Chains A and B, each alone.
Chain A
């Protein structure tokens, strides 16, 4: 069992965060960042996030394992067909990677290689099914595997998306296809999230609420304009705008979301974008705990 799996099974309030592989081969900084997050349940390693080409998420995940850290390998359907995906999954398992976050992936048009051909041979629901098939010892063609991999696969959900029923049917399909946990897109609307959780309870899949640290109002507006599926309300933008120290206000907003998460779901997935040192504060942990390194 992975630590993430254990903590979820034990009903602990689980905290994950994420790091991005470097553009290049120097992994020193990425590993340093990962070490700083070692007290969390697991660290997501993004896969050419935003369709920007970077070092392979699988390679960095394997390096994390070598350091004794626990990765969640993000794996998208954008860049690989079903053969490459299966073969990377087997490779991941051989390198000790067990936690997965299975995603469709941002369209190549958004990234730094807009002329690339997007693959999408599979979608995220289908890839979750493939993971289950591999775990059962067969590939998609029905051929037996010489030793089956072990995985703890998760999936992403968008709790604020409308129409709710349309979004939720996909969430349910992901649960049925074998998702063992959900990490949500950045959530800013506590009420909508609670409503989502009311329906999600029935799926019996633990949910980690995505919390994105807003650094200032400009960033919030940028997200609204440029990041699909992310919506920061005018009320929150106003709070950031009128705050004398916007970052402190951003931390406050994140803390409020953590409080919501504590009341209705199993944990949080933190996206602090370079402000990892603020994680203990966002989690509302005491100074003593911070000194003891228990972030």
Chain B
């Protein structure tokens, strides 16, 4: 899921300057799961907005805010409240915020920062495992991604900063290459160590990404 967190209230207050009436939008998918844009956070946001002298004209939690037609449809269902508002305050990831901004002429203010595509480690605890690079090497690296979990994204083994199996950038984190090495050894195969990995094809990480399902 997309991990997001609320911007600092001081930053939000600046973004809200001059906007008196607000319509709130949350997301029932990722932002609800990581407690940044679900019903509960919409309610808390509403209370905070009232405390700083703002009026909330209404709110909606969209099933998946990244779904552009669904976001548009939900906004139309709340036409009155949306129309009354000076701006829409969106508690969703950057993708969700843009579904909204492409579905209304009104000013859209994002309340969250989107952090990464995350795995749930345990409740409320997320880790990035994949950085959507478009050129997957997992089959050779025993299912551990060095592009993401090595702080430098190195492809041919650890850097000189590896110490006691830990990453030089963050001592709390295991060196990705030690993890890959140990798992490949346990599986009794050489995997990625059998070859020198050539420079990565970054053209696979197209920006902006576009994909159409065919057939």
Contact = CB atoms under 8 A, between A and B. Distances in A.
A158 B161 CA distance: 9
B162 A229 contact: yes
The residue in A78, A110, A173 that gathers the most chain B C-beta atoms within 10 A of its C-beta is A173
Contacts of A157: 160
Query: For this complex, into which size category does the number of interface residues on chain B fall?
Result: 20 to 34
A177 B196 contact: yes
B153 A120 contact: yes
Query: For this complex, into which size category does the number of interface residues on chain A fall?
Result: 35 or more
Given A162-B164, A166-B177, A107 B198 contact: no
B135 to A, nearest CB: 13
Contacts of A156: 160
Contacts of B151: 107, 109
A140 interface: yes
Interface string B135-152: 000000000000000011
A176 B162 contact: no
A126 B155 contact: yes
Given A162-B165, A166-B178, A166-B181, A126 B160 contact: no
Given A166-B178, A166-B181, A121 B199 contact: yes
B181 A163 contact: yes
Interface in A99-125: 104-107, 109-110, 118, 120-125
B158 A123 contact: no
A106 B159 CA distance: 9
B12 interface: no
B160 A185 contact: yes
B50 interface: no
Given A107-B151, A163-B178, A163-B181, A229 B196 contact: no
Contact of A125 (B156, B161, B168): B156
B202 interface: yes
B115 interface: no
Given A107-B169, A166-B178, A173 B163 contact: no
- What are the 3 closest A-B residue pairs judged by CB atoms, nearest first? A228-B161, A228-B168, A170-B157
Given A107-B151, A124-B156, 13 more contacts: A104-B160, A122-B199, A123-B152, A125-B156, A125-B157, A129-B196, A156-B160, A161-B162, A163-B178, A169-B193, A228-B160, A228-B161, A229-B160
